[in-house]
Amino acid sequence: MEQVLANFIVALRNAGVRVSVSESIDAANTLDIMGYKDKVLLRTSLAATLAKTLNEKEIFNTCFDLFFSFDDFPEDHNGSNLDCEMEEQEGLSPLSLMILSGDQTSLATSMIRAGHALELSNMQYFTQKNPYVRRIMNYMGLEELDNDISRLSQDGSALSQQQAQGLRDGRGLLTEYVRTYVDRNYELYTRATQNNILERHLMNMKLSHIEERNVHDMHMIIKKMVKRLKDLHSRRKRNFRRGQLDFKKTLRKNITYGGPLFELMWKKRKIDRPNVVVICDVSRSVRMVVRFFLLFLYSLNELIVKIRSFIFCNNLIEVSSVFDDHPVEEAVEILQKGIGLDIGLSRTNYGQAFCDFQENWINAITNKTTVIILGDARNNFYEPETDLLRNIHDKAKRLIWLNPEGPTFWGTGDSEMQRYGPLCDLIRECNTLNHLERIVDDIL
């Protein structure tokens, strides 16, 4: 029974429930007291020890229903449709006898025992499902069942023919039941693998190609990335408070003591939190990239002194107040739809955007400000106003341009990247979550 609990805990972890070693021990001790007889009591007892939040309780209930489900063999089905009082022939295998007698409990027990023996919990890929079905069937006695069918078919008596037909029907139903059992376990044990594959796929997919059905998954991935960056950069700040040992200063300081190091000197390297100004093109070609970039950046507000946000298409406006008044995800949705914003969404004009910024908000930039421009630099052949961009560069600590297009497209058609590029401290292609994470890590 310990293996049953261990497999259930594996299923919970794959589904996203964090179960520690101590919690696993608590669950085992709980089962020693409660046992497996009462399913409702079993659910309540395990939930109390293994599920800690409302979300984890929902996941727990789903996993519990899947793991402890025995609906593969309906109780009202007698397997071969034979008369239960039919006289059994001698020499039949145990599996044949279970099928002929309609013993659903024994069949379910044999199938589950086979799954445990063959370590069904180690399944990772959908291509393994059919091999596992075959292996479980063989473990249950498929070869002996086929031999019984062949032998009974060759016997001329009516009873033998009827039993052979019943075993054929039962064999087909058993295969379906085993396949259902394997499918259920595949869903239980491979959820983490499936999530990892999906996550890697979405992190490398161009943001402009993301479908609406994957937006929720993207938000969850961004939350993981944000947590990872927060942990990393918070640790750097803690290291700064503690400092690192400065060997040269320590030795010089302790020369008068003749060798013993009574006074330790620490290196001090201050890591400032960045002050960021973001200017985003929200035209149709880059709108999805802007959506995830702002979501990513504002989720890291604990590591950034201040963020001021501007968006433009054929004119530029400040939208910092939208993020002040609404949660990050809701604010991004508002910007995406342009709700209540005084912005023209016709032809993109970078030169006009730089003019608007120079006239109204140039004082927002100091020598401690990192300016990030996100856009494809496609200016529809308007005046590029490179002098205004140079002025922004000269006033800022650094100017970073993130372009959703690949470098091969920079400068083609109406793209002004060949003019804007030399005025920036850093230019990066930015059209996947992997690009975003590396860029934000560098900014921090």
pLDDT single digits (tens) 161-175: 888 888 999 899 999
State the pLDDT confidence band at 222, using cuts at 50, 70 and 90: confident
Tell me the average pLDDT across 114-121. Answer: 82
Helices 433-443, 191-204: crossing angle, 10 deg rounding = 70
Q: Which residue has the tokens 């320590």?
A: 250
State the pLDDT confidence band at 437, using cuts at 50, 70 and 90: confident
pLDDT at 326: 81
Tell me the average pLDDT across 184-207. Answer: 71
Percent of the chain scoring above 90 in pLDDT: 11
**What tens digit of pLDDT does each residue of 353-370 get?**
999 999 999 998 988 888
Q: Which residues pair with 398 in a beta bridge?
A: 370
pLDDT at 6: 80
Contacts of 373 (CB under 8 A, 6+ apart): 279, 280, 399, 400, 401, 402, 424
Helix (H, G, I), strand (E, B) or coil at 275: strand
C-alpha–C-alpha distance, residues 63 and 53, integer Å: 15
Q: Per the structure block, which two tokens stand in for 125?
A: 């890929």
Question: What's the whole-number average pLDDT of the chain?
Answer: 80
Q: Per the structure block, which two tokens stand in for 441?
A: 């890590």
Percent of the chain scoring above 70 in pLDDT: 84
- Is 82 a residue whose pLDDT tops 60? no
- Is 1 a residue whose pLDDT tops 90? no
User: Can you say whether the dihedral through the CA atoms of 253, 254, 258, 259 is positive or negative?
Assistant: negative
pLDDT at 242: 54
Residue pair 148/185 in contact by the 8 Å Cβ criterion: no
State the pLDDT confidence band at 87, using cuts at 50, 70 and 90: very low
Q: Per the structure block, which two tokens stand in for 290?
A: 């802007």
Of 63, 36, 182, 39, the closest CA to residue 121 belongs to 182
pLDDT at 86: 43
pLDDT at 417: 92
pLDDT at 85: 39
HEC letters along 352-402: HHHHHHHHHCHHHCCCCEEEEEECCCECCCCCCCHHHHHHHHHHCCEEEEE
Domain-by-domain residue ranges, the chain? Answer: 2-68, 94-189, 273-443
Highest mean pLDDT among 1-15, 141-155, 326-340: 141-155
Q: Which residue has the tokens 């001329």?
A: 156
C-alpha–C-alpha distance, residues 1 and 3, integer Å: 5
pLDDT at 247: 78
If you compute the radius of gyration of the chain from its CA atoms, what whole number of angstroms results?
33
**CATH of region 273-443, choose from 3.40.50.2300, 3.40.718.10, 3.40.50.410, 3.30.300.20:** 3.40.50.410
- Is 420 a residue whose pLDDT tops 90? yes
Q: Per the structure block, which two tokens stand in for 220?
A: 């969850």
Assign 3-state DSSP to the chain and report helix, strand, coil percentages, each to 5: 60, 10, 30
Highest mean pLDDT among 90-94, 109-113, 194-198: 109-113
pLDDT at 7: 77
C-alpha–C-alpha distance, residues 362 and 318, integer Å: 12
Look at 239 and 265; give whichever has higher pLDDT. 265
Highest mean pLDDT among 33-47, 314-328, 410-424: 410-424
Look at 383 and 336; give whichever has higher pLDDT. 383
pLDDT at 302: 56
- Is 239 a residue whose pLDDT tops 60? no
Helix (H, G, I), strand (E, B) or coil at 244: strand
State the pLDDT confidence band at 431, using cuts at 50, 70 and 90: confident
Tell me the average pLDDT across 164-191. Answer: 85
DSSP 8-state symbol, 68: T
- Is 285 a residue whose pLDDT tops 90? no
- Is 72 a residue whose pLDDT tops 60? no
Highest mean pLDDT among 109-113, 158-162, 352-356: 352-356
- Is 391 a residue whose pLDDT tops 90? yes
**What tens digit of pLDDT does each residue of 36-63 get?**
778 888 888 888 888 888 878 888 888 8
Q: Per the structure block, which two tokens stand in for 421?
A: 């590029």
Q: How far is CA 405 from CA 360, 380, 431, 442, in A?
A: 29, 16, 7, 20
User: Which of 114-123, 238-247, 381-390 shows the lowest mean pLDDT across its residues?
Assistant: 238-247
State the pLDDT confidence band at 136, using cuts at 50, 70 and 90: very high
C-alpha–C-alpha distance, residues 246 and 249, integer Å: 6
Tell me the average pLDDT across 400-405. Answer: 89
